[in-house]
Amino acid sequence: MDSCPCIKNFLLLDSEGNRVAVKYYSDEWPTNSAKEAFEKALFSKTQKTNARTEAEIAMFENHIIVYKFVQDLHFFVVGAEGENELILVTVLQGFFDAVGLLLRGNVDKKEALENLDLILLCLDEIVDGGVILETDANAIAGKVASHSVDATAPLSEQTISQALATAREHLARSLLNCMYVPVPWLADDDAMGSSG
């Protein structure tokens, strides 16, 4: 086992086992068909469990799987056999909660597909190359929201954090414009030199 905790993949599947968003960090599944076969087998093993209130932990094909379901989405984090289950659960919970924050509580397949860019950014903020970077949902959602701010969108179509970031940017720009006020006695050095 490596010195730092790592994960093998994130899977976000719908209620029929189809992909919504997946990210693999291991070469164990070299082809897309091998990845899809793993996803289908994992879904078949876990679909009858009730992982709606708390994350469940299972062993599957020499991997530790932690998973949680909400509405028509199934969240999975896969780690090596010797990985710490509590760390994997923390990663799953951070991902799950960050997605909930980014989707404003509307966590379902339709909303996830409409905001797939946010979910993929969320995965990038949590893990880089399998190495866990962040597990705090608020920090993850904040970083993703700051990356996805569209200053040209009307305020009514922005999330609260996006609107605040846009307002902060406008305030900073207006303060910088106000700070440059030419001062007459500093602008004309010759006038000061000739009077003294």
Query: Is 84 inside a domain boundary?
Result: yes
Tell whether 84 and 157 lie within a shared domain: no
Q: pLDDT tens for residues 114-165?
A: 888 888 888 888 888 888 888 888 888 888 877 665 545 554 555 555 566 6
Q: Is the pTM value of this prediction over 0.95?
A: no
Sign, CA dihedral 116-118-119-120, equals positive
Check which CATH number belongs to the domain holding 118 and give it.
Answer: 3.30.450.60
Domains identified in the chain, total number:
2
At a CB cut-off of 8 Å and minimum separation 6, what does 54 contact?
68
Tell whether 87 and 43 lie within a shared domain: yes
d(CA 80, CA 62): 7
CA distances, 44 to each of 38, 54, 60, 84 (Å) = 10, 19, 11, 24
Tell whether 104 and 155 lie within a shared domain: no
What strands lie across the sheet with 19-24, from one edge to the other? 19-24, 9-14, 73-80, 63-70, 56-60
Q: pLDDT tens for residues 41-85?
A: 999 888 888 777 788 898 988 999 999 988 888 999 999 988 888
Query: Is 43 inside a domain boundary?
Result: yes
d(CA 159, CA 156): 8
Tell whether 35 and 125 lie within a shared domain: yes
Tell whether 167 and 99 lie within a shared domain: no
Q: Whose CA is closest to 4, among 133, 112, 182?
A: 133
The encoded tokens of residue 58 equal 């299972």
Tell whether 49 and 115 lie within a shared domain: yes
Domain carrying residue 28:
9-147
Query: Is 188 inside a domain boundary?
Result: no
